[in-house]
Chain A
Amino acid sequence: MPGKLKAKIVAGRHLPVMDRASDLTDAFVEVKFGNTTFKTDVCHKSLNPQWNSEWFKFEVDDEDLQDEPLQITVLDHDTYSANDAIGKVYIDIDPLLCTEAASVISGWFPIYDTIHGIRGEINVLVKVELFNDLNRFRQSSCGVKFFCTTSIPRCYRAAMVHGFVEELVVNEDPEYQWIDRIRTPRASNEARQRLISLMSGELQRKIGLKVLEMGGNAVVGYLQCFDLEGESGLVVRAIGTACTLDKVSSGSAPNTNTHVHPNTAPASNACNSPSKDGKEPVFGEDLPSSSGPPTPFRALPTSSSSPPPFSPSKPCSRQSSSSDTDLSLTPKTVEPKPVRCRPGIFLCPSSPTLSTDTLSLPGSGSVGCGHGLSSAPRATTPPPPSSIHSDCALLRKSVSFTEDLLLAASGMGSGGSAGKEAGPLKTLLRQHTQTALEQRGASSSGLLLNAREFPFFTLTSFPPGFLVHVGGVVSARSVKLLDRIHNPALGNTRSYKLLDWNSVTADEPETRDAWWEEIRQEIKSHAKALGCHAVVGYSESTSICEEVCILSASGTAAILNPRYMREGCLDIGSTDHRFEDPSPPSCGFCHIPYDELNMPFPAQLTYCYHCRRQKVPDVLFTTIDLPSEAAVTGKGCLIQARLCRLKKKAQGEVNATAISNLLPFMEYELHTQLMNKLKLRNMNALFGLHIQISVGENMLLGLASATGVYLTALPAPGGIQIAGKTPGDLSNEHHILTIQKRINDTIAKNKELYQINPPELTEEGLGSPIPEPRQRSRLFRSHSESSDELSELDLSHGKKDAFVLEIDDTDAVEDIHSLLTDAPPPTGFYSCNTEIMPGIYNWTSGIQMFTSVRVFRLSNANLTNQGLNKIFTDLCENLLKSFYFKLRSMIPCCLCHLNFTVAVPEEELIQVAVTAVAMTFDKDQAQEKPAEKPINKGSSENEEQLQFPLELCADVSSANTQPSSKVSGVPESTNVSSRAASVDYGSFADRCSTWLELLRLKAHTIRRGSVKTISSLERCSPLPEGRSRSLRSSRSFGGSSVTVVKMTPLSFLPGIRIIKYLGIINMFFIRETTSLREEGGVSGFLHSFIAEVFAMVRAHVAALGGNAVVSYSMKECVLMENPNKNQAQCLINVSGDAVICVRETDQEPTASMTNIGQTCCSANDGAT
């Protein structure tokens, strides 16, 4: 259906001088949309031209409206020679296509040139008239709203969550086309910018189509990424969560009430596609089975054809699957990865997956799938557990993993050699996948399939009641070779994915799709293994170096309340007893989703410390934000694990294999680091876990960031105990003691720092530790291994002499030292990588969003892993210190959503980019969460400081909180929790000896330090009250003629109410210079570029009538420099949601105001 796009060029200002003779400019403007171009008159001799042009009208398809940007070029008229370009503005008109968003784009836009940066500004007016508003959704998907925000946007209500949507498009990178040799850098950059703009428009349109077909009207948690694959092309891919959103009329209501009426599910779902029914077990089928921990998995009705994760075959696969990474960081939660089988299972339910799996298992120790498809070895990053195995394997060659029957054999040995041995398996797999894909392709409405195949949600926070239980982190990685792209293994084409102008690469999307498909399947099966039917906080990423590409995906396995789902609710609701008896909101999500008797991995379970009715793990790792209703003790803090690994330079498959082999080790180490640091801070859960592994020519970088929290519902973490390998050695002993003391001191300090004083529980609540389920469950737990050995380690070490650490090994010492080097933030600062800091509730309105980039050159070519680690750690730590320093004027404040991105742009360069926001809070007000939760309250407020560092006593046992403990004075008297007693985590005894072995191995080879738990009863005092500063910040920019636009990576602004979402901002810029020195070197260059990007984002938001950007993120920052040639180039991709907001106390602007953004903005300036 057609639409009419109208644009008017009003004026320019601050134009650059283009004519040296007169010091003036003769400017005119070309306005281009699609293939139509209009020009304004030339405005002679002015740096502030007033064109005041007529309305230029473009009559176009709405499909084009979605894909194409409006392109405005400002030129300097030259009578005798070619006109010189001053710069361009690309305007994405998507927001105008949605009735609820902006109605007009009007404002000053920076005129941007890829060589010179911003050169003046231009005032433009753009409107769209869409005809035929009804039923126009054929090729286009106008009207679907997109949100980067990973929660239900404020001022909307989720009527229905439909599920996962994904799409990708591929094209040749203009930078690598032959024509690039003869065109100017400017032309090439512009071609690239324009192409990416087109591709993201197209991508968004296609995703929109999928959403419409699913019956939704919005995509939440929209995550779009670029893969710059160099020669092999340019991939733009996106994932998101399709929803049906209702506007909340009051405008003020946050997203809280999201009750869904099951009945509202569009009828259309049912009839969407024939194929659907057969294929998607997702909600409907999985739910019932997985929902109740008690329900054995085997009962899965649908999955009958596919082996349940636990099936005996699984373990093997996991092992073999070296390729998968399941990193489950969740301590307990690791999911084994049943990689191999997935394609079979899900895609072709009827196919004999089982058999294949079993067959393949023994043979493969390695990577099957990867080979089949791309012939690149797939790296697996097994979860710590699996990684461990492989570690052991490598190091020791023989591991006896007897624990699981299956594992044993294949797993270990082959772990390392992913690539080579997968003979038979390979073929099998290939066939498998192919069929699977064919089927998929064949189904008439391929579009729908995805959504139903993958119960994934890109959301990281949910309306209350949505999240029922959380299993743990699931992740998968795979290493691919990009040079295969032109010979895709699969012949299928889904032509709708192709870009018309690009037939050459037509099959690429298929290849990429298949890759991601694999990974997603893996994730899905991991989730199943954890007894979960859904994955939340899901995200995907890549790291590319030359022709090697690591694809990663991760999320948090969870059980969701089916009432919010599309059809799931209808089938399941009644049968599931679990939902009828909801757990208390503040702890329910911690309860294990899996069957206690069939735990997917060894875990230490206890009764929930909050409700005491259900079991909880001792540690919980997740990728989501802390649920708002969760009960937390004290404050949270940022926890990072950092790791560098050198690798040999290599090409092609050799390189890919080397990388695959390294990945498991890295995952394991990162996990270990995280776990140790968590314990060091006396916390028991991680939220917002994000693990990034970046590949460079000669090294791999791993960075895991998360926010540590003490969940009240989980047991208190034990301490860390160091032990020496040779107890007899006195000096050594002494050394160990010193270290041990430092560790204990640090823990004590941290408790105080983060105000962790867990509430004490009544005795009855504690009950006795849950007997080790292991033995009983043995048969079923095929994957068992996967779980964290780490946690096992921690738990058991204390008691067992068997675990002796070679502390004298320098590496081990270094590891421990590095543990202790993380400096806590200075007084008055907190930091986290989640949306908000757990434990801080009284935000004031001061915010400062920032982006910081550092590149470090390693001058010494002979670095060791250890040396590199130190450098990398220092780099990150120094960055943080630098933030604290710069933002010191905002104290007390918290750095939220610290998002670190690491890259290895060149050999010997490490790049770290951080985007975060500093928010002030009021230290004087009570730090308590306003409402409920009496439980944690008391302790944090208690001024008394009682510190009883106890070596061996248990957590808190006694009933009442402070008073009792205070009185008692002597720790012993109060405590002795039942837990401690048995704790021990020592139930080691019943563990099978193999485990012991395994653990020992691990200890030897990897950790060398053992960890012992110490439960403690400590009371922390609130931080010393530092200076109390009054609310800072009302920055009123009232007088300025430029609308103030606030930016934040969070989904909200403190003290400010979002009243309207204006559309998504998704911008891609390239900047290049051939006068690097003159621009202040590479720092000067990047500094001004980032400032320019901010400026352009703000200008676009302001032109839409908005005054803030939420969920802002910098997805890409690729910097290439060549100082010798005085050149540099940088690409930045940013995204976010443009919004209009008002101060919470203000009245909602009237309808008329919102219509015309400008008015609204100016009215609200004060508020911002």
Chain B
Amino acid sequence: MAVELDVFVGNTTIMDEEVYQLWLDGYTVNDAVKVRMEGGVLDECEASADVLLSDTMDQYRTFQMCERLLHSPAKLANQLLFQIPPHRQTVLIERYYAFDDAFVREVLGKKLSKGTKKDLDDISAKTGVTLKSCRRQFDNFKRVFKVVEELKGPLVENIRQHFLLSDKLARDYAAIVFFTNNRFETGKRKLQYLTFQDFAFCAGQLINNWTVGAVDNMVEDMDVDLDKEFLQELKELKILITDKDLLDQHKSLVCTALRGKTKAFNEMEANFKNLSRGLVNIAAKLTNTKDVRDFFIDLVEKFIEPCRSDRWTAADMKLYLTHYTNSAHILDTFKHQVVWDRYMGVIKSCIFKMYHD
């Protein structure tokens, strides 16, 4: 004897958020039932395992049918098949597009190609995220990337409108798209300590300040590609390190300002030239795509690591970078104030964000 068919369909689609999460997390029906039983739903409602299984199956089917619609969330609102209250729709979408930081860290900056997709089982093994869930997340990235790639207008806004995501999630996706597009290297061992949120923040900074969109907001790819002109102009900053006078002058201005304000003053003074060279060289090299990819590595190697080995505190870092940036304005012979600000503004906030253990 067996139940051959068992369905339950509500006029208003019934969805249990807990089950939805289990589904998203890639649990099989049986595993999900187990988890739910452990969660104690049964005691609450005097139900049996069969009931739970049947309920879970129903919901899994519903989610599977919804999945097609979730691929283009705008459809969810005007499709007729499921009657889902708007707030539920929002939850469905938001959860569907949510991702695991551990997973995204693994693919951030990688090409969203078939090759990467094939490696998902390794990632799954490494991160503990089920393969099913990895695939969903990967496909989400790819889908968002493809749609947004060709659109004009602000990236975050586009994502939000096309995928009906919350602002926060849309920004995260913008970061992912941005990283993917520029293929930033994030996987090196030295970068492992950085979280996705660190990168997302940096991406936000870059998008807002260094892309074409930062100056002109009706260009294709405006938020995805860095502003080429700006990158060219960055080369001009080299004068800060190539001109010895300027370098010394800069150093003395900064040291004057810092003196007495921090315990790490000695180290700062000693390392000033190295650090300054590091930052300016990064700027000067950004015209090469290859160097763009290594942007974060360079920041860590050239600046963050030396400072960390000198045991600067976060406050030291802040103090130093503030004065380092501002002092450049006082240099008479330094004419590239605008570019400098645009560059250092981003660098400063990125480093602040990245300067932790």
Contacts and interface: CB of A to CB of B under 8 A. Distances in A.
A interacts with B: yes
Interface of A: 13-14, 108, 110, 118, 121, 826, 848-860, 871, 878, 881-888, 909, 911, 1035-1042, 1044-1047, 1080, 1082-1084, 1086-1088, 1090-1092, 1094-1096, 1098-1099, 1119
A118 B81 contact: yes
30 contacts: A13-B78, A14-B79, A121-B80, A849-B10, A849-B11, A850-B14, A852-B8, A852-B9, A853-B5, A854-B5, A854-B7, A855-B6, A856-B1, A857-B2, A860-B1, A878-B48, A878-B50, A881-B51, A886-B58, A887-B14, A1041-B77, A1042-B80, A1046-B11, A1087-B9, A1087-B58, A1087-B61, A1087-B65, A1091-B13, A1091-B65, A1094-B83
Contacts of B289: none
A110 B86 CA distance: 20
B45 interface: yes
Contact of B61 (A110, A849, A1080): A1080
Nearest to B62: A1087
Given A826-B46, A1088-B65, A1038 B81 contact: no
B357 interface: no
Nearest to B65: A1088
A1041 B6 CA distance: 32
A884 B45 contact: yes
A1091 B80 CA distance: 10
B33 to A, nearest CB: 12
Contact of B11 (A1037, A1040, A1094): A1094
Nearest to B2: A857
Interface residues of B, number: 41
Contacts of B81: 110, 118, 1091-1092, 1095
A1042 B82 CA distance: 10
Contact of B80 (A878, A884, A888, A1099): A1099
Given A14-B75, A853-B7, A1083-B61, A1039 B50 contact: no
Query: Which among B11, B65, B77 has the highest number of chain A CB atoms within 10 Å?
Result: B11
A882 B83 contact: no
Interface string B261-280: 00000000000000000000
A848 B11 contact: yes
Interface string B31-54: 000000000000011111011101
A1096 B2 CA distance: 32
A112 to B, nearest CB: 11
Contacts of B315: none
B4 interface: yes
Given A857-B4, A878-B50, A1084-B61, A1042 B78 contact: yes
B115 interface: no
A1035 B7 contact: no
Nearest to B14: A886
Given A850-B10, A881-B47, 4 more contacts: A850-B8, A857-B2, A1041-B78, A1083-B5
B199 to A, nearest CB: 34
B58 A858 contact: no
Most buried by B among A858, A1039, A1041: A1039
Nearest to A909: B4
Contacts of A1095: 80-83
B50 to A, nearest CB: 6
A211 to B, nearest CB: 31
A885 B61 CA distance: 17
B57 interface: yes
B5 A850 contact: no
A852 B7 contact: yes
B260 interface: no
Given A1042-B77, A1044-B83, A1087-B65, A1094 B55 contact: no
A1086 B5 contact: yes
B64 interface: yes
A1086 B61 CA distance: 11
Contact of A1098 (B9, B65, B83): B83
Given A854-B3, A888-B45, A1037-B86, A118 B8 contact: no
B12 interface: yes
Contact of A1037 (B5, B62, B85): B85
Contacts of A1099: 80
A608 to B, nearest CB: 39
A724 to B, nearest CB: 33
Nearest to B82: A1091
Contacts of A1036: 85-86
A1086 B51 CA distance: 19
B337 to A, nearest CB: 48
A1037 B86 CA distance: 6
Contacts of B83: 1042, 1044-1045, 1094-1095, 1098
A121 B77 CA distance: 13
A1143 B75 CA distance: 29
Contacts of B2: 856-857, 859
A891 to B, nearest CB: 9
A65 B5 CA distance: 40
B9 A1094 contact: yes
A1044 B78 CA distance: 11
A483 to B, nearest CB: 30
Contacts of A13: 78
A851 B9 CA distance: 5
Contacts of A1045: 11, 83
A1038 B89 CA distance: 13
A634 B6 CA distance: 34
